[in-house]
Amino acid sequence: MSSRTMVILNEVIPAWRADGFKSKFENDEIKLLYSQYFFKQKLDMVVKFIIVLGLNALLFFIFYFAHSKKFLELLILVIVVFFICIVMFIELINTRSYSTKHLTLMSIAIWTVQCIMLYALIFFIPADQRTPSDHVALVVFITFVTYTMLPLSLIYTVALGLLLALSHALVTGLCAKQDTEHFSRQLIANILVYICSNLCGLYHHHLSEIAHRRTFLETRGYVKNQLELSQQKDQQESLLKSVLPEYIAKEMLADILENNNQREHAMNLQFRNIYIRKHDNVSILFADIVGFTKMASGCTAQELVKILNTLFGRFDDLAKKNKCMRIKILGDCYYCVCGVPDPDPNHAISSVLMAFDMITCIKEVRDNTRVEVNMRVGINSGPVLCGVLGLRKWQFDVWSDNVTIANHMESGGLSGRVHISAATKNCLPVDVQCEPGNGMERDKYIKEKQITSFLVLNPESSATQFEVLEKYRRVIAESQGANGEEEEEEESLNGVPVLAGLEGGHTNGVDQIGGGYFAAKKNNSKDDLSRNGNSVTDDEMTVHQYVGKWESVTPFAPANAANCNNDKNAKNVILKVGLFPMHASIAGRKGRNQVMNHQRDLDQEVNECMRKQVEDGRSQRHNETTEKIHRLSLRFKSSLTETDFQHLPDNMFKYYLACAFMVFLFIGAIQLCILPYRLITVIAFTSALVILSICVVVAMATPRFCECLRQFSAIITESNKIRVVLAILTTVIVYVVAFIQIISCKCTEGEDNSCNGVRTRDPTAQQCDFPMYFYISGMLAMLCSAVFLKFDHIIKDVLMVLAMVSYIVIMHVTHADIFDAHDEFLVTSVNKTLEEEKVNMLLLKEYGTVYLLMLGLALISLGFEVERTARVDFQQRRQAAEKKDQMEDFKTNNGILLRNLLPGHVAEHFMGCGKIGLYHEDHYNVGVMFASIPNFFAEFYAENDVNNNGIECMRVLNEIIADFDELLEKPKFNCIEKIKTIGATYMVAAGLTPKVVYDGSETDVDTYLCTLCEFAFAMQDCIKRINKHSFNNFQLRMGINHGSLVAGVIGATKPQYDIWGNTVNVASRMESTGKIGKIQITEDSSHKLDRYGFRFDDPHFVQVKGKGNMKARFLIDRVAS
């Protein structure tokens, strides 16, 4: 059973207990909303009932008009009742804005009209002809329809039902002038009729209440699912778009949805597709923070992640402002492009402006912290390939020889300068001033390729250059639709260059996240840059303290969140765009409260949607569902849906049988009390009692009963055909029993062989003194058919019509003399004859006919509405289940997406409740490995027509990376986490998962290093297989190290999980200084592996930047099995 079904049952089924009549809604707002929903759902029933009431008045008028010469009083009554019905009908049709109180008062008014009609009919009877049983049948009708067709709460219906029974018993008892000697028998029979009609009404009302609650909960759940589904879609798109351009994100998302049914094989089936495109006119920018190691020294893990996230977050904003797109963060290197995914004719100048903005930003940090940091920027332009490689840890990347050149432009550049290639220089406007870059003197690759380079003249050193750059900045701003105020902010302050609005941000002290840049907050005069660019700051201020003053956006938070502050839906921004709550250690109670507020906002939005649907009377969903059902037969237009509906199990069927059995017992008791009985009737009742008792016992069998009966009960619950047979059998038996005694009734014959209406007190006599209890019993039998709520209304209606026709034929044809005898007794008792009086009175059999028709019309209307509601409810539950399945699919896909963006434990961290902030963690004794394919780009990769300008080469690299990713799926490598790919370099780390306690013990790191080495050998085997099948000669060059590092997630617009520290740097140097086909490992790490059977060659020295000469060894062979 689904969790959703369990929720509904938890809300509904307790209503069968003693406290079941109390509201089960914990939320008062939902309780009030349900009350409004309940009353609105009853409106159709009220309209139909008003029509039935009007028809009833018309029936009385017709019969009275046909038989009575004194109909003035009745005519007045009928006109009044009919007028009231028309007024209420028009009011209900034309008015939708009803309050619960309004509808309750209207329902009580309708009940009052019926009671007035009842007592008017009683007082229309001549005083000397009134009996204790006058119009008891009308009491049955009023009582049952009050419970079932009026929008009244249970307490009102019970009160009105009891009030009607007591008042009728009191009025008829005080006014009765005839049959007083049989008063006690009639009173007991009347009480039984009252109880039976009230119990049937109470039962029907209670089951309908359960159905309405379930429908309400399902409808509300459907609305909530719709909202959540929409949010899940937004979330899924946001997840992909946070790391991928929209066009690739859509393509990958379409593949994910297409393979939803094969989710368990999704990683093998769908991601072998290649998501790579070529872009021709692109500028590539690499920017490295010179002095980053010194800047980050002394920082804790939290402080380092905070610095990187805030700093690179500011760079992300600058990139957005300059129409650039960040590709990756490589340690302390920022890597972005311009002209992707949309072509940009200004890609070169935009990249140059981006470069100067970054230099200005770092200058601000340097001036305010006295830490010697700077930016070294390199730019190249040309065609590139963009896309995603592999199956895990998707990161958008660009590849081409031009990317390599841009990288060397950075490494061969100068601090604080923008180093560009001749290709970029040719793409710049002619008025941008440059000077020779002499990159060949500083970088071997540039020298080998004979690439001419230039340094763009800094705007601070030339007013002309400043004016030129500002001119093109305005051009770019205008192309982005920037308004005049933003342009004004970007103008210089008193002739001092203010690039990217950074210093401008200081002047107003506002953090303009949504506006395209961050600005440090004002903090007295110390935080303000002076007009000449110098700073007045505390010499002791650290980088962390200064950067901490910048407000930043945490990962997975949209850069434009601030712009949503004025939007009416701003409260749902985090939920709708797919943000994941984060670190409890940072936010604590604030984060949990935020999540609770979001959930509360969602509930309020759901309630608001439900309220609108209630006010509209019919929801669009309800109307759409109704269109799928035939108007008269109520069959679903879809045969499949109809079959599913017919095969639904019915756990309530045993209660239907129990209620029908109760009605049968009441009919028997009434007839036993008031009507004569003979052997044939005793046999009939006894047989019916046995049959129905067996049916009820079998249907209601529980595990306490014998296993055989319990199995039969389960079969009845599951089989619709068996239920239909039992329902028909039970209904027919009760119909027959209700009138079977009349067959044995005879009246006392007079001299003219006609009934003389003489009474007898002998209950064993064949004379029937009170024939009105026959059609009263028939009406109770009709109620029996109504209690089968999930029973085809056509079958019920056919059985009911046949029963009514049979009753009417018996009353008017076969046994009319019995009913005439009763009328004759009443008139002869006042010395009149029936022939004289019947033109002035409505005969008993005609009363019976009217009451049977009245109840029949009401029950047919009720049965139609009940089945229609059941079918609409079923269809809506199907739709809700489908939406919920879709939502679950989206949730699953979101989990897959998030786990392909972040490590599993980090993804769980971000998806946890009550967590908000930055993710960061110190790790000890972690193994890190870099594995590159040096000859891929050097020898294999080529951009020509043969290989589709390099795309087919990248397809091969995609297969290689995907095979490496598949290795990580093996259980023995579950402690290894892929960090990222950098070109043809594959980076992994072992020991980042939280499964092992990081206590610094050698056992942990030994296990990680052993597993990492095994993975290195597996990669070598994998590349050999690829070479064998592709006839290539790819070789791996790998480097391994272990030690401490910091892990975290940084970046506002493109969150990225990464690791930092000397351990990572040394591992990278082990790879870059190693040999092709070899695995180079630091000597410290090799010592930990000696004991496990790994073989190494002799130590050798390698030059490591920042470390000098380090001892390293090559791993020769794997551990023996």
Residues known to be catalytic: 1069, 1105
Q: What are phi and psi of 296, to 5 degrees?
A: -85, -5
Closest CA to 1048 of 558, 244, 331: 331
Contact of 697 with 726, CB cutoff 8 Å: no
Contact of 537 with 369, CB cutoff 8 Å: yes
Write out the DSSP string of 591-612.
HHHHHHHHHHHHHHHHHHHHHH
User: For residue 519, what is the DSSP state?
Assistant: -
HSE (CB half, 13 Å, CA atoms) of 637?
8
Q: In sequence order, which residues have a C-beta less than 8 Å from that of residue 668 and are 6 or more positions away?
A: 685, 689, 737
* Helix segments in 242-300, DSSP class H: 246-258, 266-269, 292-296
**Maximum CA extent, the chain:** 143
CA 643-647-649 angle, 5° bins: 155
Q: What are phi and psi of 613, to 5 degrees?
A: -65, -40
Closest CA to 67 of 836, 776, 666, 742: 836
Question: What span, in angstroms and rounded, lies between the C-alpha atoms of 783 and 774?
Answer: 14
Determine which helix (DSSP H) or strand (DSSP E) holds 882, and give its type and residue range. helix 844-901
Question: What span, in angstroms and rounded, lies between the C-alpha atoms of 594 and 914?
Answer: 7
Contact of 95 with 78, CB cutoff 8 Å: no
Q: In sequence order, which residues have a C-beta less than 8 Å from that of residue 361 and are 6 or more positions away?
A: 311, 314, 315, 318, 375, 500, 502
Question: What span, in angstroms and rounded, lies between the C-alpha atoms of 891 and 109?
Answer: 51
Contact of 326 with 315, CB cutoff 8 Å: yes
Contact of 187 with 144, CB cutoff 8 Å: no
Contact of 1052 with 559, CB cutoff 8 Å: yes
Q: In sequence order, which residues have a C-beta less than 8 Å from that of residue 168 and are 6 or more positions away?
A: 118, 135, 136, 139, 190, 194
Closest CA to 657 of 784, 780, 797: 784
Question: What span, in angstroms and rounded, lies between the C-alpha atoms of 382 and 808?
Answer: 96
Question: What span, in angstroms and rounded, lies between the C-alpha atoms of 579 and 97?
Answer: 39
Question: What span, in angstroms and rounded, lies between the C-alpha atoms of 59 and 316?
Answer: 81
